[in-house]
Chains A and B, each alone.
Chain A
Amino acid sequence: MKNNRRKWIAAVLLVMLVLGLSRLGAGPIEEIFYIASQPFYRFFDYLGGKASGLFGYFRDQQMLIIERDDLAREKEELLSELARLSDYCLEKDELAEVLGTESDELDWRVMMGKITYVNASQDWIMINLGRRDGVETGQPVITSNHVLAGRVGQVYERQAEVKLLSHADSLVKVKTVDVSPAVSFLQGKGGLRTVLQSADLTQDFKVGDDLVTDVFRDEYPANLLVGQIVQVERDEVRSMLAAQVMPFFDWSTERNLFILEDF
């Protein structure tokens, strides 16, 4: 009984001592232990570093094997991707052949000009490039997105007139974007209207078809974006097809235009 009481007193004193020490902090005691243990600690640290290097060798080897397997798998995936891309490339070449375009980079020579004036009622705009810049009548004018705006009309010393596609003088050979494209001429009707006309009723022009330029007397390069068909009418009696086309070129959103000097 007495023995038990002593044990309890010792336990309580011990807990109080521990709590007391915790409040005082471990600073000085910790320092003494650290200084005294430095040589042993360094020795174990050195041994640990060596052992780690030894285990690291095996671990790295294992990692290399895993990495090799990953790379092999990745290579297979890339090869399969490459095969698929080759197919795409062939298809693209075939399509380019059909559309009459080169798959090589374009090497056009262009001049950049700014729109200075718009005459919407007469379907022309003015740009700040003129005779002194080498501008000539008939040169195609496009936007940065290869959208055909029109052709150069009257050229002045410091500026030039660009006749829009809707200008009454404008006539552009166009085709649909298709493997077997329908081809015809787009006529400017004035008042910002453009009409595609064809004497062949069987030609497959539909609402929503996108039109691009087709090569005709080297007036334009092929595949410049022209517009979209918004309405198609077929006159069986006169055997005439007429389609209203909304040009892609929007002068209200464009600031810069490019005159194609050489294409």
Chain B
Amino acid sequence: MIMSRVFLLIGLYFLTLFQLGFWSHLAIDGVWPNLVLLAVLLVALSSKNKGLIWLAALWGGFLLDIFYYHQIGLAILTFIILISLLSLSRRFFALEGMMGTLIYLAVFSLAYEPVRYIISFIFTSSPVLSFDLFFLVAQTVYHLVLVLIFWLILPVKFRRIFSA
């Protein structure tokens, strides 16, 4: 149990740096994937360990706050809200398998920026609307394509992490 948490902390840390250092060079038409969001959502979808899910949300949000938004709390609260909504929605709409994962990922990838925008009201009195519909849709498609690619290239025993 402890090992999986340590692995999660280190994994998300390097994933953030990977996103920041490596993937920023591979932006397609100004759109890049939010790998940390993707990882946190995948953990929330595949794991039954609530402690691990909340740890992923808090740590992932913290790392994004530190390296991206330079404002502690913005991404953490966004992730808390997203994971809460995800848990809630899974009680009513139990989508399973790979298709379920893709649908949840699409919905919550699309919801990330608007939720972050709403949260930003708490931190600043005049938040800047820094997202557009094209970016949201393109980033969501980017996420789905990445998940599909990994699902196809990873060995079968690892594919369960992509199943809701």
The interface of chain A, by Cβ under 8 A from chain B, is: 14-15, 18-19, 21-22, 24-26, 29-30, 33, 37, 40-45, 47-49, 51-52, 55
Residue contact A15 to B17, C-beta cutoff 8 Å: no
**Whole-angstrom distance between the alpha carbons of A22 and B72 in the complex?**
5
Q: Kindly specify which of B23-31, B107-115, B136-144, B146-154 makes contact with the partner chain.
A: B23-31
The answer to whether B26 touches A52, judged by C-beta atoms less than 8 angstroms apart, is: yes
Q: Is B95 an interface residue when CB atoms closer than 8 A count as contact?
A: no
Interface residue B21 (Cβ < 8 Å from any Cβ of A): yes
Work out how many contacts link A and B, with CB atoms closer than 8 A.
Answer: 64
A40 and B17 contacting across the interface, CB-CB below 8 Å = yes
Known: A19-B122, A33-B67. A26 touches B72 (CB 8 A): yes
23 pairs of residues in contact across A and B, judged by CB atoms under 8 Å: A14-B58, A19-B73, A22-B71, A22-B73, A22-B122, A25-B72, A26-B65, A26-B70, A26-B71, A29-B66, A30-B70, A37-B67, A40-B14, A41-B17, A41-B21, A45-B21, A45-B22, A47-B21, A48-B24, A51-B22, A51-B25, A52-B26, A55-B26
Among B62-101, those with CB < 8 Å from A are 65-67, 70-74, 76-77, 80
Assess whether B67 is in contact with A44, with CB atoms less than 8 Å apart.
no
- Of B22, B74, B77, which is in contact with the most chain A CB atoms at under 10 Å from its CB? B22
Is there contact, CB below 8 Å, between A51 and B26? Answer: yes
Is there contact, CB below 8 Å, between A48 and B21? yes
Give the A-binding residues of B (Cβ under 8 A).
13-14, 17-18, 20-26, 58, 65-67, 70-74, 76-77, 80, 122-123
A160 to B69, CA, bound (A): 84
List, in ascending order, chain B residues with CB within 8 A of A26's CB: 65-66, 70-72
Smallest Cβ-Cβ distance to A44: which chain B residue: B21
B26 with A21: CB separation less than 8 A: no
- Whole-angstrom distance between the alpha carbons of A28 and B138 in the complex? 35
Q: How far is the CA of A48 from the CA of B24 in the complex (A)?
A: 7
Q: From B23, B72, B74, B123, give the contact of A48 (CB < 8 A).
A: B23
Q: Are A22 and B74 in contact, CB atoms less than 8 angstroms apart?
A: yes
Q: Which residues of A contact B26 (CB under 8 A)?
A: 48, 51-52, 55
Contact A44 B20, beta carbon cutoff 8 Å: yes
Residues in A neighbouring B123, C-beta threshold 8 A = 22
Which single member of A14, A33, A48, A55 contacts B22 (CB below 8 Å)? A48
Are B73 and A18 within 8 A (Cβ)? yes
